Structure 1
Amino acid sequence: MKEVGIALPKSRGVGVGVVGAFLLCFIFYYFYGGYMTLALFAAILLLIFYYAQDLLLYHPDLPTNSRIFVPMPTMHNLPNITVNIKTTDADVTLHAFWISQPEERCKSVPTLLYFHGNAGNMGHRMQNVWGIYHNLHCNILMVEYRGYGLSTGVPTERGLCSDARAAIDYLHTRHDLDHSQLILFGRSLGGAVVIDVAADTVYGQKLMCTIVENTFTSIRDMAVELVHPSMKYIPNVLYKNKYCSLQKISKCSVPFLFISGLADNLVPPRMMRALYTKCGSEIKRTLEFPGGSHNDTWIVDGYYQAIAGFLAELQQQPSPLQKPPEKSNVWVELEHKIIDV
């Protein structure tokens, strides 16, 4: 599924609003003069910029009928059940697919939560999920953000991040998986959502690791990249959706894997390098694929094998409770200090 950059809004309501705003400015100019009209015009432009941002960022209806038809995992011979997840922040129901390994392995393998990009629905990612299922041999929970596919609600930054937490809470209600092996995976916009969760001191502790692919440092940085360099002078407070991943990732301590397609012509690979550099985790790795573009890095040779190698490395790492203490007998040292005194 192709992710979409910033595009012109197609909503008829926005067009009507713009025409109405200009008409209001004309009437205001007739009664109050130029300076007041200029101030009103500037305020209207700011309001349009602020409220049109959701239309510029979120594209749940591309391609057509993406809110109606969601391709099923059974179309790719993947065992699955459909689940509905209730969020705690609003009356929203998330549509999700639970794709599990055979029963004898389900409880011993990792479980990957899959968060997609800004366009279409989760069903458009089934080929990639098929590869994850058969190459990484893990359970998969595919989550559809609010306002996408068959999920209810309207997409917002706070809402999408709440959706990810609700998905983790849901997994902890299931008894057919190992809760200590939860993996968050996010591509593009999904990567920004995943970083927000990993930076959470409560939810970050519930994760085995986090994988982000071709994601960005912030919406403001993307506006500078895709619209015009002058966008950097717009105060951050005027951005309705911020997704300040570069600031959040320094707070992350969970192991991180950064996957970057060097042929990405939407999100510059330097943003992935910046995230890797700023990441606060002691265990962090980066994978760069020269032939990978924004949407199809997963088809490059060695993609799944590299991820499997990272997961194998983590599973060989001793947990904090398994690490031997630095001092074999602290009390002996304390006794010597008392004698010396």
Structure 2
Amino acid sequence: MLLTLPILLYGAAGCVLFTQQDAMLFPRQYTNPRPGVTPPAGAESVFVSAADGARIEGWFAAGAGCTAESPGPAVLYCHGNAELIDDNTDYLRAYAARGVSVLLIEYPGYGRCTGTPSQASITDAGVSHYDALAARPEVDPARIVLHGKSLGGGVAAQILARRPAAAVVLESTFTSVASFAGDYYMPEFLVRHPFRTDQILRESKAPLLLFHGRDDEIIPVSHGRALAALRPDAECVETAGRHNDYPPDPAAYWSRIEQFLAAHVRP
């Protein structure tokens, strides 16, 4: 009996983790639809259709000076798990002002999108958005950058596994979702959406810039360091900052991104 009780408790905990992991990874109570919300001035809503028929939104803004006659670089931006594209207009404005077109992509089941979020459905939607972005006349398809934050870094890596990128920017990103199973004393095979960022980056040749806050309480900085260690050419910029107040110094953050873009996607 003394041995049976811990086994039962462990099994019960495993069942809770398995059944609740979607709610933990995709906490849509924070990402409810916001009817009537529209893109900021200078941006437009774009939509792609998922394989299951879901309609997935994105917000696009052309970079300053980017035209059909003079296409330029573009960023496909993937946000974190508890936010919407609505919450990331700063990225839209900042990239566009720097002469880089930008597409913020939404996830299935988030905001005004139909469908259900999963590693597979989010990746498929991201790839569809990538293809639509690459086909735009203002965009040079050879100069598309993937930028992901938190869960979005895992999404960006999944897209990278299926489409080329001129460069990759990841911030506050995990090595994998599967790696957190050990924190709950659970085997990795219970994780339905493993998002193995580490495996993809190890094989990728795309230039890689990582940002991570040393005070990140959700995805520890050790994850950023581990990802950087996979690639001798990768750079990991560590600063003060917690997970949800990053970057602490926006001016320095954007200055480093500008340098990175100048080295890899500027003509």
The TM tier, using the shorter chain, reads 0.7 to 0.9
Pairing of 1:259-338 with structure 2 (within 5 A): 259-279=211-231, 283-290=233-240, 292-300=241-249, 301-315=251-265
Q: Within 2, Cα distance between the matches of 1:70 and 1:222?
A: 37
Pairing of 1:1-341 with structure 2 (within 5 A): 46-62=14-30, 66-69=32-35, 71-74=37-40, 78-88=41-51, 90-102=52-64, 105=67, 107-134=70-97, 136-198=98-160, 200=161, 202-203=162-163, 206-224=164-182, 229=183, 231=184, 233-279=185-231, 283-290=233-240, 292-300=241-249, 301-315=251-265
C-alpha distance 129-188 of structure 1, shift in aligned 2 (>3 A): same
The answer to which structure has the higher helix fraction is 1
For residues 169-198 of structure 1, give each alpha carbon's deviation from its aligned partner in whole angstroms, at most 9, with x where no partner exists.
112332232111101110000001111222
Shift of 1:51: 2.4
Shift of 1:275: 0.5
Contact 1:51 1:240 in 2 (8 A): no
Q: Give the AA of the match of 1:277.
A: A
Q: Within 2, Cα distance between the matches of 1:70 and 1:158?
A: 29
Q: Within 2, Cα distance between the matches of 1:99 and 1:141?
A: 7
- State which structure, 1 or 2, has the greater radius of gyration over its C-alpha atoms: 1
Q: Within 2, Cα distance between the matches of 1:305 and 1:181?
A: 19
User: Could you say which residue in structure 1 is the equivalent of 2:3?
Assistant: none
Contact 1:172 1:179 in 2 (8 A): yes
Q: Give the AA of the match of 1:184.
A: L
Shift of 1:87: 2.1
Contact 1:216 1:222 in 2 (8 A): no
Contact 2:146 2:168 in 1 (8 A): yes
In structure 1, the residue corresponding to 2:60 is in which secondary structure?
strand
In structure 2, the residue corresponding to 1:142 is in which secondary structure?
strand
The answer to which structure has the higher strand fraction is 2
Q: Give the AA of the match of 1:109.
A: G
User: Any gaps of 5 or more consecutive residues in structure 2?
Assistant: 1-5
In structure 2, the residue corresponding to 1:61 is in which secondary structure?
helix
Q: Within 2, Cα distance between the matches of 1:306 and 1:297?
A: 14
Q: Within 2, Cα distance between the matches of 1:131 and 1:139?
A: 10
RMSD (CA atoms): 2.8
TM-score normalised according to structure 2 size: 0.86
Shift of 1:45: 6.0
Q: Give the AA of the match of 2:85.
A: M
Contact 1:298 1:304 in 2 (8 A): no
Number of residue equivalences: 263
In structure 2, the residue corresponding to 1:73 is in which secondary structure?
coil
In structure 1, the residue corresponding to 2:34 is in which secondary structure?
coil
Q: Give the AA of the match of 1:208.
A: A
Shift of 1:159: 1.3
Q: Within 2, Cα distance between the matches of 1:248 and 1:60?
A: 27
In structure 1, the residue corresponding to 2:58 is in which secondary structure?
strand
C-alpha distance 42-283 of structure 1, shift in aligned 2 (>3 A): closer
Shift of 1:57: 1.2
Q: Give the AA of the match of 1:165.
A: V
Shift of 1:255: 1.2
C-alpha distance 289-137 of structure 1, shift in aligned 2 (>3 A): farther
Contact 2:109 2:116 in 1 (8 A): yes
Q: Within 1, Cα distance between the matches of 2:244 and 2:59?
A: 21
Shift of 1:278: 1.2
Q: Give the AA of the match of 1:120.
A: E
